[in-house]
Amino acid sequence: MKKSFLAEIITVGLILVLALVLRLYKIDNAIADWHSWRQADTASVTRVFDKEGINLLVPRFQDISSIPSGKPNPNGYRMVEFPLYNLLHLTTYRLAPSLGIDQAGRLTSVLISLVSIIFLYLSVRKLSGRALGLASALLYAVMPFSIYYSRVVLPEPLMITLFLISFYLFLQKGVLSFLLSAVFLAGALLVKPYAIFFTLPFLYWWWTHKNEKRFTLPWLFAYAAIAFVPLLAWRSWIKQFPEGIPASAWLYNNLGIRLRPAWFRWLFGVRIGNLILGYWGLIPFGLGVLSLKKLDGWIYRLFLLGIVAYFVVFAGGNVQHDYYQAITIPYLAVVTAFGLLTMIKPHPSFSRASGILLAVFSLGMMLFLSWYEIRGYYQINNPAIVEAGKRVDQLLPKDAKVIASYNGDTAFLYQTNRFGWPAINTDLSVMLKGESNVYYVSVNYDKEANAVMADPGNLVLVKDPRLLIVKVAK
């Protein structure tokens, strides 16, 4: 084994160790931090799998309200992404049950993200050489936005990893790698269909290598069938459960925001410029974009085009939720790393010492300013719901259903470990029709809570400054 190759392997290993250590920060957090509602919904599917058995074709969660879909959902159907992430989450939990369902989910995402670092490195090394591959992997490992969204209980880390594996295999020669690429792309699309926006580089690689055997028409048809038929089948299947399909029209152009000034501000200013690149990262990123050339340059340009198309089509979702930008991190890491390397070895007409100093300062400020914004994401938004949820779980029957009133946010409902409703969104007699053994729980004594207590048919069981539990009359 050549010394240079051994050194490269050791370097990758050290990057992975660093990435692991950074991602273990507050890994024992309850699912009550940033985007806890979406994390709670994801973890809830895993919890139901654990309690009632695995049914990948009919995933369910503990929210039985009509809030997500606008239709009554008494069975708690959750028909969004194919629950591949939940299967991995459950596997981790059953291998290490002492972690608890929350921490097992975070660890699952962390381990998945380490695989994504490996395949980002391998893909960039194949396209652009060892130096950029290592620099990209390192930057991807330490970017604060990347770190946070690599330890959340969400499907995004898995989609990114499956996509990067698929892309790396697509770059390899041979029919087997080609077909395996299709399998992993199918997985990425099942987890998050918007992975389709980032396949433009696949088309370019095919166009520039179309004389290879694997790119003949029969194999292309096979690739398309393997990659896309599972997604089409899944989307067709879930139509049987309309009550489990959340409303999605708002994802496209909520409030007509597409290409409006606010769209540019939120996506390119607040999210990419501030949260992800910490302002100063825009310097090496811009230099990286300008320095792209040759075959690999077109690959990266097409990734950028895919990102812009994704932002345009799913304008509402991207503006509303920053985790929608998690898929952009690999590209941003590569191009920013390329810019940093260019600054370290600048054009002869520029001072190398100044370039190195600017690179170090830009990188340091990028990480610091990004972390300054991201650090609040780790905070538990409302510790009261975590404490109250534990008490509810201890006090109420296991088959009880609860109204965990929290303005429609399922984070509180999740903490109670019960099926139920995250808000009263219609008349109680209508909402609870056919239900029994229902309890209203709250951590606030607001107008709604006082009205529930005042109902003479209801029975107040617990009333203290931290928790209200009321047995609701049939």
- Could you tell me the residue ranges of all domains in the chain? 3-30+79-377, 383-471
Go through 72-110 and write b for each residue having 16 or more CB atoms within 10 A of its CB, e for each that does not: ebeebbbbbbbbbbbbbbbebbeeeeebebbbbbbbbbb
* Distance in angstroms (rounded) separating the CA atoms of residues 371 and 25: 13
> Is the distance from CB of 396 to CB of 418 less than 8 angstroms?
yes
Asked if residue 103 lies in contact with residue 27, where contact means CB atoms within 8 angstroms, the answer is yes
**Predicted confidence (pLDDT) per residue in 133-143, tens digit:** 999 999 999 99
At 293 the pLDDT is 79
CA distances from 337 to 53, 143, 160, 362, 418 (A): 45, 11, 19, 11, 46
**Section 287-299 average pLDDT:** 86
Instruction: Summarize the confidence of residues 200-215 as an average pLDDT.
Output: 94
pLDDT level of residue 294 (50, 70, 90 thresholds): confident
Nearest to 267 by CA among 339, 320, 334: 320
Secondary structure percentages of the chain, helix, strand, coil, to 5: 65, 5, 30
Is pLDDT of 324 > 80? Answer: yes
Euclidean distance between the first and the last CA atom of the chain, given in angstroms as a whole number: 74
Give the integer Cα–Cα distance in Å for 34 and 267.
18
State the pLDDT confidence band at 292, using cuts at 50, 70 and 90: confident
| pLDDT one-digit tens code per residue, 148-178 | 999 999 999 999 999 999 999 999 999 999 9
Please give the pLDDT value at position 198.
97
The whole-number pLDDT of residue 1 equals 57
Instruction: Average the pLDDT over each of 9-18, 55-64, 181-190, 203-212 and give the range with the smallest value.
Output: 203-212
Give the SS3 label for residue 462.
strand
Distances (CA, A) of 248 to 69, 168, 253, 254: 9, 32, 10, 10
- Average pLDDT over every residue of 323-329: 97
pLDDT in tens, 46-95: 999 999 999 999 999 999 999 999 999 999 999 999 999 999 999 999 99
Contact 59, 86 (CB under 8 A): yes
Question: For residue 421, what are the CA distances in angstroms to 68, 316, 381, 390, 416?
Answer: 11, 26, 20, 17, 11
